[in-house]
Chain A
Amino acid sequence: MSLKSPLRRVTYLGSAKGGSSHWYAQRVTAVALVLLGLWLVISLASMGGASHEHVVAWLSSPVAAAFAVLLVLTAAWHALLGLQVVIEDYVGDKGTRLAVLLVVKFTFAVAAVIGVLAVLRIAFGVAG
């Protein structure tokens, strides 16, 4: 006997009925990243140099800063969705899986916020 109700015992054992949003977000961010990725390559190639002044000059443009923020957020999201699938596929133990997922999610959340703040700091002209 258990205190768990029959409903609680079967919940989460079958389809969660929420997978399609994960699948769909992965594709939408993929299409966005085709554009943002090519934008990054072209931007780096046409920056004129790799010095601090060159980076600051590049991100001083509002359009470049906006695309850079979008790139950071979209890439972090896409990477997170992809890594989640890989981890769920290859990490069998439930406890380890949850721990690894949390570490990866926290890491990318922190990286995304740092990336956005870094771009904004440069865009607002307070990066020296």
Chain B
Amino acid sequence: MAQRARPLSPFMHYRWQYTNTLSILHRITGVLLSCGFLLLVYWLAAAAAGPERYAAAAGILASPLAQLVLFGTVFSFCYHLLNGVRHLFFDMGHGFELQTARRSGWAVAIAAIVLGLVVWFVVRAGLGGAA
């Protein structure tokens, strides 16, 4: 059977706007958080395996590379949480006016950065400097 020209998905030919970036960021942070979830399970499993295994895992998580990954996870958590709530309002039919959608988008982006830094430093302080 001959392949007919298929319709293109909207994202292939729509004009790029910053709200598109916010939308794709929700997916990217979601995928990152899925990896963060596996890290959380790794941490819990290490704790369940006893003090020695936990100390080894804590050492790995304290390395600069792991700290960078954890910081990315914390920021992803804050962005995904805030933008997720924004999407729940969309799902209930609110906030679709262009101006409202753009304003809430900006608010989420800025709040995610602020909340991300707050969570990072508060949790670090609470855990006594090591994450």
Q: Which of A49, A50, A82, A111 contacts B38 (CB 8 A)?
A: A111
Q: Which of A45, A83, A117, A119 contacts B34 (CB 8 A)?
A: A83
Chain A 81-128 interface residues, beta-carbon cutoff 8 Å to B: 82-83, 86, 107-108, 111-112, 114-115, 117-119, 121-122, 127-128
A25 contacts chain B at the CB level, 8 A cutoff:
no
A86 smallest CB distance to B (angstroms): 6
**A115→B44 contact, CB < 8 A:** yes
**B27→A41 contact, CB < 8 A:** no
The interface stretch among A1-9, A11-19, A30-38 is A30-38
| Distance of A79 Cα from B31 Cα, bound (Å) | 8
Q: Which residue of A lies closest to B57 (CB)?
A: A52
**Number of B positions contacting A (CB below 8 A):** 34
Q: Mark B86-125, 1 if CB is under 8 A from A, else 0.
A: 0010010000000000000000000000000001001101
| Distance of A48 Cα from B123 Cα, bound (Å) | 10
**A49→B127 contact, CB < 8 A:** yes
A79 smallest CB distance to B (angstroms): 4
Chain A 8-67 interface residues, beta-carbon cutoff 8 Å to B: 27, 30-31, 33-34, 37, 41, 44-50, 52, 55-56, 59
Inter-chain contact total with CB atoms closer than 8 Å: 97
**B131→A50 contact, CB < 8 A:** yes
B91: chain A residues within 8 A (beta carbon): 27
Q: Which of A45, A79, A119, A128 contacts B123 (CB 8 A)?
A: A45
| Distance of A68 Cα from B125 Cα, bound (Å) | 21
**B128→A118 contact, CB < 8 A:** no
Q: Mark B61-85, 1 if CB is under 8 A from A, else 0.
A: 0000000000000000100010011
Q: Which of A34, A48, A55, A86 contacts B85 (CB 8 A)?
A: A34
Q: Which residue of A lies closest to B27 (CB)?
A: A86
Interface residues of A (CB under 8 A from B): 27, 30-31, 33-34, 37, 41, 44-50, 52, 55-56, 59, 68, 72, 75-76, 79, 82-83, 86, 107-108, 111-112, 114-115, 117-119, 121-122, 127-128
